[in-house]
Every structure is written in structure tokens, then in C-alpha cells.
Chain A
Amino acid sequence: MTDEIRFEHISMEFPGVLANDDISLSIRDGEVFALVGENGAGKSTLMNILYGINTPTAGELYVRGEKVTTFSPKAAIDRGIGMVHQHFMLVPSFTVAQNIVLGREPKNAGVLFDNRKAEKLTRELVEEYGLEVDPSAEIRDISVGLQQRVEILKTLYRGADILILDEPTAVLTPQETDELFEVIRRIVREKQMTVIIITHKLNEVMAISDRVGVMRQGKLIGVEETKNVNEKILASMMVGRPVLFDHLEKAGEPGEVAIKVDDLYVADNRGLPAVRGVSLEVKKGEVLGIAAIEGNGQSELLEAITGLRKINRGTVAVCGRDATNHTPGEIRDMGLSHVPEDRLSTGVDKLASVADNLLVGRQKEKRFNLLGFHQRRSTVERYAEELYRKFDIRGAGIHTEVGSMSGGNMQKVVVAREFTFDTPVLVISQPTRGVDIGAMEFFHTRIIEKRNEGAAILLSSADLDEVFRLSDRIITLYEGKITGEFSANAITKEEIGFYMTGSRKEGEA
């Protein structure tokens, strides 16, 4: 086998950050190479160098033995490199065919865009690679899984024989993931393509790759033949210490109902119905997990329960009191804390200090102020210091601007604040999105601690593994309706996938 791509002592420095530190790596012709690492480990940066988006600050890159001198996507495309980004690079109002040919349009009379030819070329690609998709459909009308196919077809149209996939399964159902892997295997086998897949899901590394490279804090820690490693070894390579995903000890029996949602209807930002007749109950001392593909109403459901979104029909009760269309403040007073989905927009005040962010919601407490006017700064700081230590927040102290912290630490600030309210009800959304494995472990332990103390927890996460690990019961949502309810140990991830895509459990409404 020959080396298709060779990184030699590549470094990439952004202002204040060394994203890639002296990386030397060879990728072979016709292999599936997995690049794993925590968020911020520098995987995407390295691949962006290969795709010409970043120009390395030091080192050399060779593609098929030729040294790369000009770094631009155009030059990379000419070298046969294609990249499917984590956030799809598609123009929503263009059709599938128009997106595929973008930048290299077929023309008639040398000037005008030839739409018919574009669709014909697309159909040829669809047939050649077996990636079924309608060339004349507009991107905004098709599913995420299909959009990803369009992305892959786009790179194939541009003549790619090296394909980079950045976190390709993050938005896919288990079934769609299987289909994607089938496609990858086929193009590697039949078209002799080289595929590099960036991921942090270790089971996928084991399932699809020939070799795997592990990155940590900008450095390449090691490259292994996949068959010689297992998930545990990879996880400890990623984190730099042994990671023990031990069984989380769950104790106690569920108590009384703490969240009761009855026949709820909620609209999304566009006014479309997002939640359509959802009823559920969460008891004290249990975790109810919501498994759903993004955009199936889970965000709107949690926002409605926490008072952030208008309820059109139905009722919500928190701890036995009616919370329907009450303000977030009133609902919090009923005994609910909320770790919101998007910490940047609703979880923290980015410009405020860690201390101030920890104080939010408690500023009226007597111990923090004098007669409601003067803030007792020293008490606030002592309180913040305490939480800072207890929740293992790592940064430059309690006066750090929260916006300058890493995602994991920012999330720790949110969790520290919300969990110290000690409310009987917790609504938690995406607790570990963009958070590294070490911090993930920490959050999971905390959540189960709360559960064992008797809190009623409603959890929503895009990470199916997380839902399985933490939940006692799981409900699946599809297009705003509950499609099934399961005991977490009575169902597999694959089965859940069917309900997440609209199949309905027998006997369910």
C-alpha cells in the first residue's frame, strides 16, 4: 500500500491556541481512517488543513507524494479531496442538482447555467454510487440524512477520491448511520476511495475503520490498527488517563409524580406545530429520557414546560401545581431547575464573570444583599469559590468572563448553579453537548446523584448512548408525538431507532 496523504511536522497556531502541535501522520491509499479525539483536540483543524481551509503555520503536507504549496479549498478539490462538513455546506433554496454542481456548473452557449444537464449529471452519479436522491428537490425540503447524501455526491461530482467526513453521524438515526457506513464500505471497495472519518463515537470507529489516529490537545497521541485496540484503550488515549465508564449505581424507588404534562400542543418559531398532544409523567427519583432526532419537538416541549415557550393547548403541572403558561420565574419557584439546551444563548451570560453567573437566581436571597440594595460582594465571592471547587470548574478563577471558557467548563457553571438550587424537579437538555469525555463522566455522576436523592429528572439528549445510560424510562418523540415508551433496560438502541423515525409502538396512542 502506498501513502496517499502525508502530514510532516504540521503545526497550526491560532492567536493564543496551538491547535495542531507537530503532527506527522500518513494515511494509506484505499483505507478508512478514523480520527478521534475530544472536542478541541484539533481533529477538525487538521482536516481543514488537508482541505485547504487552514494554512499550517509550520510543517509540510504531501498528497500522493506531491508537496502541497497552495492551501485553498479550490486547490484541494483539484487534488481530488472532498470534505463533508459537520454543518452541511448546502444552499437551502437551491435544488439538489444545483447544490451538487455549485462552483462547476454545466453551461449551455458558454454562459447560461444548464439546469437540465445538472440534473442529468446528478442522476448519473446517483445511479453510479447507489445514493438515491431526487435531483430536482430543494434542499430545505429533504431530510438530514438525504442532505448528507447530497454532500457526498457533491464531493464525488468534483472528482474526489479522498473523502473527509467530519462527525458524519451526529445528526443521523442508527438506521441512517448503518446506511452511511454501507455507502462508505461500497465506495472504498468498488471505487478504491480513501475515507477519513472524524468522530468521537468509539463504537463507530470500531465498526467502520481500518486504522485509527487519536488526538489530544493538539497532539497526535497514537495511530493504531483498529483490530488491535478496543473502545476502552481508545478512550483512555483520548483523555490521557483511564476512563472508567462504570455502571452508575441507581438506588431507590420512584415516588410521587413531580412533572405532569397533559395533551400538550406547542408551536415552533415558525408557527408550525412542534409538540402535538404529548402527555407524560416524571416521578420523583427517576430519570425520564427523551430519545428523538433533532427537530422533532423535544426542544419545544422542554421550553414549554420551563415557561420559555407559549403553550397552545394542554396543561403542565410541576409538583402538583399548575404551571401552564406561567413565567419561567414562577415555575422555578414551584421547584424546577433547568439546564437549557443551548448554554451560550440561554444558559449563561457570556460577558459576566463566573461568580455573577453562579449568583443568578439567588441575588434576592438575604445573605447576598443588604436591605435589597447593596450586594454583599464578599459573600457572593465566597459562595462562588465554594461552587467553583465543588464542581471542579477549571479556568482562571471566579472572575473569569464565562464566554472565554471552554464548553465543558461553561456547562459546569450552568450545572453548578442549577443543581445547587436543590429543587425536586430538574429539566436537563443536552447536558454534555460539546463536552469532553472527562467532563461527561462528571456530569453523568452528578445527574444520577440527584436522581438517587429523589429528584424528578426530565432529560433530553441528542446522544442516544447518554439517554440509555442515564434514563430509567425512555420515550421516543417523532414529529411532536410520542411514538413509544420503554423501560431503559428492556430495549436496544437499534429498536429505539425505529420509533425515533416514526414507527409506533403497539397499543400506543
Chain B
Amino acid sequence: MNNHNVWATVFSAGTFAQMLRSATPVALAALGGLMTEHAGIMNIGMDGMILMGAFVAAVASYFCASAAMGVLAAVAFGILIGLFFALFTVKLKSDEFIIGCALNTFALGVTAYLSREIFGLSGTSGYLVPCLPDVTIPLINKIPFVGEVLSGHSVFVYITWILVVLMWLFVYRTPVGFWIRASGESPETLRTAGKNPERMKWIASILCGVFCGLAGAHLSLGYLNGSFVEGMSASRGYIAFACVIFAAANPPKAYLAALMFGFFDALGLRLQDYISSDLTGTIPYLITIVMMVYVVVSGQKRRERLARQQLKKIETP
């Protein structure tokens, strides 16, 4: 196979379409993670939340024979898990890190056990579950390349776009958004302003649960066309957390970070034909590490630049 073909495959419309698909579950979870991040809760339990959300969605969809019911169940479950998380981290003031770890470990175990009980020994549901519809965007789907990239995805790819905008408005343009940010940055300030910072943390935690539930529902009902697989969250919760940090908890930036992850995930899938899939599978995770290094280094650079500016300010009276 010659070089030209490799490039054509790598940068084909299919790769970019896959980028959107891969980015969506991460972006959804990141939207939740940035809420807890703003509220000052370190939430590394997102992976477990996604996994359980995926399982609940699959089961509900299976028994109700309706993907919509699956999504609804995942949202309801998200609220519950958010309440559970807030109960420990906010109300009982336990260590956030430990609770997050516990949640992830628990999620792996309980979903594996229950899925074997419900779907049989293999631990996957197969394609028994009703899945979410794909959406074809009229007109745009007629445009070559662009149509291929943007049209025909599972419905949550598009819902996520709307949610990113809504969340941006919520965080930066509504009083409650201000209160949630204040509850993380300076809780006592909020308290003396007559608002309860703990309540804001509860809200953030519940929202995080809901978004992780949606991410899970999308994963089992949309991304994998209606099947649950053990451990299917595949560390997306951690990558979402990385996106949150990378984006300084800003929704559109977090979406861009998720897109970047999606691109490299898609790239990995494309390159499987040429390189061992074990190797290509590591690309998104490597990128995550690179992203984190970038955050640290750029933070350092920014501080140095500030230092120089400040020096200048002092020296030129």
C-alpha cells in the first residue's frame, strides 16, 4: 500500500465523522465534570458514573423496549448517583479522591455482575437493545465531505452541541452559574452573600451525575448501537476529567478538547490497518498525557510572562 493511500484514509471524511462520534461521550461527561470542577469538587468518579449510566440505559431500554426510556432511566440514575456522590463529598465531607475511586471500582464490579445475570455469561448484551436513532441533516448531507462528516450521526452528537451552548450560558451568564463558581472558589463569600455554597455543590454534583448518565446512555444506546459491554466506559471518564482541566472548565473549550481526543481516537482506528491495533489504541491516552503536560507547561509560561510584565510595570513608574 502506498503512502498516498494512507494519507487519504487518515484524513478522509470517515475519520472526521468518527472524531465527532468518539468525542461525544467524552464531551458529555466533561460537561458534567466541569460543573463539579467549578464547584470545587475533585471528581475522578466520572468513569464509574458513565459505566453505570451505560448499563442502566441498556437495561431500561431492553426491558421497556424503548431507547427513550433507556435515556430517561440513565438521567434518573444520574440524579441518584449525583446525590450519592454529594452525600459523601459535600454532606459527610469524605475524601473526594477516595469516593471517586470507590465509585469507579464499584461500577466495574456491579455492572459486570449484573450484566452477566441479565444478559448471560458473555457479559455483553449483544445487539438486543433498542438503540437511539441516527439523524440525517437535510441539505447538509448533500454537500460532499462536509455532509459525510456532519450528517448521519446518532442523535446525541447533535444534542451535545446544544448542551455545550446551554452549559456555557448557564455557567457564565446566569446567577446560579456565578454562585456555583463562587461555591468552588470562595465558599464563605457565597455564604455571607446569603446563598448556601453546599447547596450549589449539590446542584453541581447532580448535574455531573446527569451528564455522566447521558454520556453512558449515548455510549450503550448510540455509540455502540444498543449494546452493553463490560468496562465499556474505557477510561473516558478520566479523559473527560483531563478535558475539563485542559479547558479550565469552560464548556466550548472542553468540547474542543474532547474533539481533539476524538480525532486521535479516530486516527488510531484508521491506522489499525497499518500498525498493530494494540499500539494505535494507546494514542488517545498518550494524547491525554501530552495535554496534561501542556497544561502544566503553559501555566508555568503564563506565570513567567506575568512575572515579566509585573517587573516591567514596577520598573517603569
A112-B169, A113-B174, A272-B306 in contact; A102/B185 too (CB < 8 A)?
no
Task: Say which residue of A102, A104, A105, A272 sits within 8 Å of B190 (CB atoms).
Answer: A102
- The answer to whether the Cβ of B195 comes within 8 Å of any Cβ in the partner chain is yes
Interface range on chain B (Cβ under 8 Å from partner): 20 to 34
Write the nearest CB–CB distance from B55 to chain A, whole angstroms: 35
Kindly list chain A residues whose C-beta atoms are within 8 Å of the C-beta of B303: 270-272
Write the nearest CB–CB distance from B250 to chain A, whole angstroms: 12
A92-B186, A94-B178, A113-B178 in contact; A83/B192 too (CB < 8 A)?
yes
Which residues of chain A from 39 to 56 have any CB-CB distance to chain B below 8 Å in the complex? 51, 53
Q: Chain B, 291-317, contact with A by CB distance < 8 Å: what is the 0/1 string?
A: 000000000100110110011001000
Q: Chain B, 194-208, contact with A by CB distance < 8 Å: what is the 0/1 string?
A: 110000000000000
- The answer to whether the Cβ of A111 comes within 8 Å of any Cβ in the partner chain is yes
How many inter-chain contacts with C-beta < 8 Å in the A-B complex?
80
Q: Please list the residues of chain B having a beta carbon within 8 angstroms of any beta carbon in chain A.
A: 169, 173-175, 177-179, 181-182, 185-186, 188-195, 300, 303-304, 306-307, 310-311, 314
Write the nearest CB–CB distance from A119 to chain B, whole angstroms: 14
Bound complex: CA of A215 vs CA of B185, how far in Å? 34
Q: Which of A20-28, A69-77, A243-251, A287-295 contacts B (4 or more CB under 8 A)?
A: A69-77
- The answer to whether the Cβ of A201 comes within 8 Å of any Cβ in the partner chain is no
- The answer to whether the Cβ of A107 comes within 8 Å of any Cβ in the partner chain is yes
Sample of 11 A–B contacts (CB below 8 Å): A51-B192, A73-B194, A77-B194, A85-B192, A91-B181, A91-B189, A92-B186, A99-B189, A271-B307, A272-B306, A273-B310
Q: Please list the residues of chain A having a beta carbon within 8 angstroms of any beta carbon in chain B.
A: 51, 53, 72-74, 77, 83, 85, 87, 89-94, 98-99, 102-105, 107, 111-113, 267, 270-273, 276, 479
Kindly list chain B residues whose C-beta atoms are within 8 Å of the C-beta of A105: 175, 178
Write the nearest CB–CB distance from B299 to chain A, whole angstroms: 10
Bound complex: CA of A333 vs CA of B290, how far in Å? 45
Q: Which label, helix, strand, loop or mixed, suits the secondary structure of the B interface? A: helix
Bound complex: CA of A246 vs CA of B314, how far in Å? 41
B185-A92 in contact (CB<8A): yes
Bound complex: CA of A272 vs CA of B195, how far in Å? 35
A89-B310 in contact (CB<8A): no
Kindly list chain B residues whose C-beta atoms are within 8 Å of the C-beta of A89: 186, 188-189, 192-193
A91-B192 in contact (CB<8A): no
Kindly list chain A residues whose C-beta atoms are within 8 Å of the C-beta of B306: 270, 272
Task: Say which residue of B173, B188, B194, B307 sits within 8 Å of A103 (CB atoms).
Answer: B194
Kindly list chain B residues whose C-beta atoms are within 8 Å of the C-beta of A87: 188
7 further interface pairs, Cβ-Cβ under 8 Å (given A91-B181, A105-B178): A53-B192, A102-B195, A103-B190, A103-B194, A104-B193, A272-B306, A276-B314
